[in-house]
Amino acid sequence: MTIKTEPFVINFGPAHPSTHGVFRMRVVLDGEVVLDLEPVYGYLHRGIEKLAEQRTYTGIIPLTDRLDYLAAMSNNLAHCIAVEKLAGIKVPERAEYLRVILAELQRLCSHLIAVGAFLNDSGAFMTPILYMLREREKILDLFEMLSGQRLTYNDMRPGGVSQDAPEEFLPALHKFVDQMPRYLDEYDQLLAKNEILLARSKGVGILSKELAINSSASGPVLRASGVKWDIRKAEPYSIYDRFEFEIPTGTAGDCYDRYLVRMLEMRQSVRIIEQAMKQFPSGEYRSRVPKLIRPPVGEVYSRIEAPKGELAFYIVSDSSIAPYRYHIRGTSLINLTALRDMIVGWKVADLIVIFGSIDICMGEVDR
Amino acid sequence: MEVEKPVESRCFDLQTELDRTEGANTEVLKAKSIAPIPDPDEWLEKSLERNILLTTVDTLVDWARRSALWTVICFPACCAFEFIATAGPRFDISRFGMEIIRASPRQADLMITAGTLTWKMAPQVRRIYDQMAEPKWVIAMGACGCSGGIFASSYSVVPGYNRIVPVDVYVPGCPPRPEALLYGVRMLQNKIAREHVDIKLPFPLTGTKKEG
Amino acid sequence: MTVSLSGTEVAKQIASQFPEAIAESSNQAVVVKTEYLLKVAEFLKNSPDFDFNYLNDMTAADYYDYFEVVFQLSSLNLNHKLMLKTRCYERLKPAVPSVCCLWRGAELMEREIYDLMGITFTGHPNLKRIVLWEGFQGHPLRKDYL
């Protein structure tokens, strides 16, 4: 006699500890194996693109802070670069260096949370993320010195940064850069050959190279699949062409590779900050820009390498003080295109690990 | 000095005797009581002090309620990371007995609404709130939680959590710093401390009420 | 450094294959006719000169007279990029062929455009509202939405 079984539909989210916010998935299960999966988006859709059409170009910066709220500086940078391209604004040297330092600190900050949350999802609840939060607080102190905020900085402006770095910023940064490699060594010691982590993530959730390219994945997800593609190298924006760094890539495209790529990227970020500190010039921190920027009629698609991948803004200007159309390429949303292919066939416990390894931020998924 | 007293006045005699004894006692007590009695805390036995607590039921129940507020997961957006930082090593929310973040609303009594609420998410938040056991409290964290913040004019954002759930404490800021959140939590604890507890007994109380 | 291909140059090459396909071309972008979109996209993806294997982004803009769907294409091997556009003059029921069959990445981008701009993508595997709830009236990113 055969036992009659039928697939079982469970609802995962939107209020669930492992969904990194308010993501929701309808999962069809056969026992423990995932047969099918349908993501449901939109629980944090705040209409930023529409709101931006009623704001000035400087007034949009606080909105971009709240896109990927784990990497607000990178969002500010992407927006400012887009507006500068559109309006033809020059940026002074000192501001460029400050921007690169801030963007790389933000990458460290975002990857720390990404790795910590991934380990949280792998079953080490709360312990590893407390280590990561410890270092994150140190970076937030540096940001606070500059902008006075801990999470949403609103610090960069078209044509530079809102205020110059205070005297105590560089010594504090020096101290942090000296410490950080040792912390990274500590993580490696705890995690890189950790048997449980290897068992949970090695070979799990493989994203092939072809699918990664075809589904427009970007950032660490794309690089973990073995594609050597980093916009900082491919199309250097700001002054990234002056620094030496490598692009870490994975081979298998599994969860462990995505974790490893992030860990290696953090070391490269520290390397970039070290170089930028040595070359840090004095001078203006902001060029003279009108309060109300009126870019000429035209359009621009400007992209940067944000911690989560390619962050781009498509802005159409009608030479008024507000953009005519303001589109945001939500990196996290597009990285989720291949989610179903990665998860189907794995078990429920792996679903959470795979989802955690993509590292999404709901503010950017739904906008 | 022995004098024969009339019989009818014997009672009196005894009375004066009694008076004298009482007076003597008074004198003894007076002689003893030249200094005020010290505070009982200073001289009462230590074991006795530990075991007896004089309080009202209100204070006791409010103390129990406010000292271990367990939070339910309702973290839609940015403020969630300030909450996590508050729970993290530096700000350490466990000082207030609330480091336990519950995924199940049935085990929680506090909802910290960390982030923008959209109309699509609103039914879920209401459902989480309804599933929480009484007594329950809500802290609206952040400008979006208080009034919609910078997204208030958007077509998909609920202008403030108080449209959906009753809010006890509002913590403004975009996002509020962990110190601000802790201040909000302390305010809520003070609020709970003032609450009057209605205890419903399973049987009616018999006996007459004292006049006065 | 990524080379931004000149729209006019690319338009010439497309015109040699599909003479009627080009509606307009400038230095920045190529505008193709909607009915030729799929053929042109396939040509751009598969031709070894262009090799646009990566769809960066896809979006739409409302210009009152027409909707413009904008594709940002790039090639990871040859490191160049191109802005491809198509225009849709129908306002009540705008429709554009879906490019999901060429680039899987278009799946969520097209759903988003359908949701917020109200452009239907014919041939999309699962076209439904993505960020707004079912039953929402109107398409917020249109200029006539208040």
**B108 vs A320: CA distance, rounded Å:** 51
Write down the ipTM of this complex: 0.91
CB nearest B89 (choices: A22, A63, A134):
A134
SS3 A284: coil
- Name the stretches of chain B with pLDDT < 50: 9-12, 212
What would the pLDDT profile of C19-39 be if each residue is shown by its tens digit?
888 888 888 888 998 888 888
Mutation site for C-interface testing, chosen from B119, B153, B155 by largest number of C Cβ within 10 Å: B155
Dihedral sign (CA B55, B59, B64, B66): negative
Record: contact C56-A312, CB cut-off 8 A: yes
Mutation site for B-interface testing, chosen from C136, C139, C144, C146 by largest number of B Cβ within 10 Å: C136
Q: DSSP secondary-structure letter at B118? A: B
Q: How confident is the model at residue C51 (pLDDT cuts 50, 70, 90)?
A: confident
Q: Check if A16 contacts B (Cβ < 8 Å).
A: yes
**CATH H-level superfamily of A8-366:** Cytochrome-c3 Hydrogenase, chain B (1.10.645.10)
**A300 vs C65: CA distance, rounded Å:** 21
Q: How far is CA B8 from CA A112, B12, B13, B19, C68, in A?
A: 104, 8, 10, 18, 127
Quick one: which of A251, A267, A121, A255 has its CA closest to A187?
A267
**C141 vs B156: CA distance, rounded Å:** 12
List the domain boundaries for chain A: 8-366
- What's phi and psi for C59, nearest 5 deg? -150, 180
Looking at B23-100, which runs of residues are DSSP E strands?
71-72
Tens digit of pLDDT per residue, chain A (367 long)?
A: 778 778 888 888 787 777 777 888 888 888 888 888 888 888 888 888 888 988 899 999 999 988 888 889 999 999 999 999 988 888 998 899 999 999 999 999 999 999 988 888 888 877 888 888 888 899 999 999 888 888 888 888 888 888 888 888 889 999 999 999 999 998 888 888 888 888 888 888 888 988 999 998 988 999 999 888 888 888 888 888 889 899 999 888 888 999 999 999 999 999 999 999 888 888 888 888 888 888 999 899 999 999 998 999 999 998 889 999 999 998 888 998 888 888 888 888 888 899 888 888 888 888 8
**A113 vs A201: CA distance, rounded Å:** 18
Q: How far is B155 from chain C (nearest CA, A)?
A: 8
Q: Are C100 and C126 in contact (CB under 8 A)?
A: no
SS3 A367: coil
Q: Check if C54 contacts A (Cβ < 8 Å).
A: yes
Tokens, residue C95: 């429709």
Taking CB atoms and an 8 Å cutoff, what residues of chain A touch C83?
301
Per-residue model confidence (pLDDT) at position A315: 92
Q: Check if A61 contacts C (Cβ < 8 Å).
A: no
Say yes or no: domain C3-92 is CATH 3.30.460.80: yes
- Which residue type does A86 have? L
A:137-166 residues touching chain B, CB 8 A cutoff: 137, 140, 150-152
Per-residue model confidence (pLDDT) at position B205: 59
Tokens, residue A108: 């460290």
- Which residue type does A216 have? S
Beta bridge partners of A183: none
Pairs of residues, one from chain B and one from chain C, whose beta carbons lie less than 8 Å apart: 8
A:242-281 residues touching chain C, CB 8 A cutoff: none
Tokens, residue C43: 């040509």
Q: DSSP secondary-structure letter at C133? A: P
CB nearest A46 (choices: B101, B103, B157):
B157
Q: Are C143 and A50 in contact (CB under 8 A)?
A: no
Record: contact A301-C57, CB cut-off 8 A: yes
Per-residue model confidence (pLDDT) at position B209: 52
Quick one: which of B201, B196, B205 has its CA closest to B61?
B196
Per-residue model confidence (pLDDT) at position A80: 92
Q: Check if C128 contacts B (Cβ < 8 Å).
A: no
Residue of C nearest to A40 (CA): C130
Cα separation of the two ends of chain B: 54
Q: Check if B159 contacts A (Cβ < 8 Å).
A: no
Q: How far is C141 from chain A (nearest CA, A)?
A: 6
List the domain boundaries for chain C: 3-92
Taking CB atoms and an 8 Å cutoff, what residues of chain C touch A45?
131-132
CA-based angle C74:C78:C80, to the nearest 5? 40
CB nearest A216 (choices: C70, C105, C145):
C105
Q: Are C110 and C100 in contact (CB under 8 A)?
A: yes
Q: How far is CA C71 from CA A164, B98, B180, C46, C137, in A?
A: 38, 50, 45, 16, 27
Sequence-ordered list of residues with C-beta below 8 angstroms from that of B123, at least 6 positions apart, any chain:
none
Per-residue model confidence (pLDDT) at position B46: 66
Per-residue model confidence (pLDDT) at position A316: 92
Sequence-ordered list of residues with C-beta below 8 angstroms from that of A358, at least 6 positions apart, any chain:
A221, A258, A332, A335, A336, A339
Quick one: which of A278, A132, A328 has its CA closest to A140?
A132
Record: contact A43-B88, CB cut-off 8 A: no
